[in-house]
Amino acid sequence: MAKGAATRQTILSHAGRLATQVGLEGVTIGRLAIELSLSKSGLFAHFRSKEELQLQTIEHQQRRFVDTVVAPVLATPGGEPRVAALFERWMAWRIGQPGGCFFAAASFELDDRPGPVRDRLADLQREWLATIARIAASAVKRGAFRTDLEPEMWAHEFYGMMLSYHLAEQLLRDPNATERTRRAFGQLLARSRAAAAAA
């Protein structure tokens, strides 16, 4: 990797970690310059504006999420094993972030702020919900989940459970957040299983 590209990756990695703690609005070229001992002019050469920095931070985090969560999940055999991998990988992603899930934090921060940054984040979240729904649909097709299960509704409920976990863990500092989330996932699985799979 060329030096410029390596520097860019270092900046974006730090920006992603910082965003989970101070929000994307708190990630500025000036702050990154100080924390990474770089010149502002050097950072401007990479990003040109705060908005471009935010967009590139989102893209960098998306690539990390795909590598850490999505690709391993899709490589898992379909049906309930893939659904279980989805849960475990997403939980591990959240736990591995210093300030919780980057995308959950950014979604709460930007939900009422129109503009390209919010639009890109919303597009990625729609894509992720669609991926979750496809995983649920695959479990139906393979006979692991009920034939009357609605994949989009399942994705909505699953995502809601994970957002609740983020809130309980990050804001409420609930010591039982992980255990409750695992119980909630177990209950969702039990309701979703086909009769033969549940027997």
What is the spatial distance between Cα 151 and Cα 133, in angstroms, rounded to a whole number?
5
Q: At what angle do helices 3-22 and 40-47 cross, to 10 degrees?
A: 90
Q: Is the pTM of this model over 0.85?
A: yes
For 141-151, write each residue's pLDDT tens digit: 999 999 999 99
List, as one string, the DSSP characters of 94-128.
Answer: HHTSBTB-HHHHHHHHHTT--SHHHHHHHHHHHHH
- Of all residues in the chain, what percent carry a pLDDT higher than 90? 69
Residue 178 CB: number of other CB atoms within 10 A? 15
Ordered structural domains, the chain, with CATH:
55-198 (1.10.357.10)
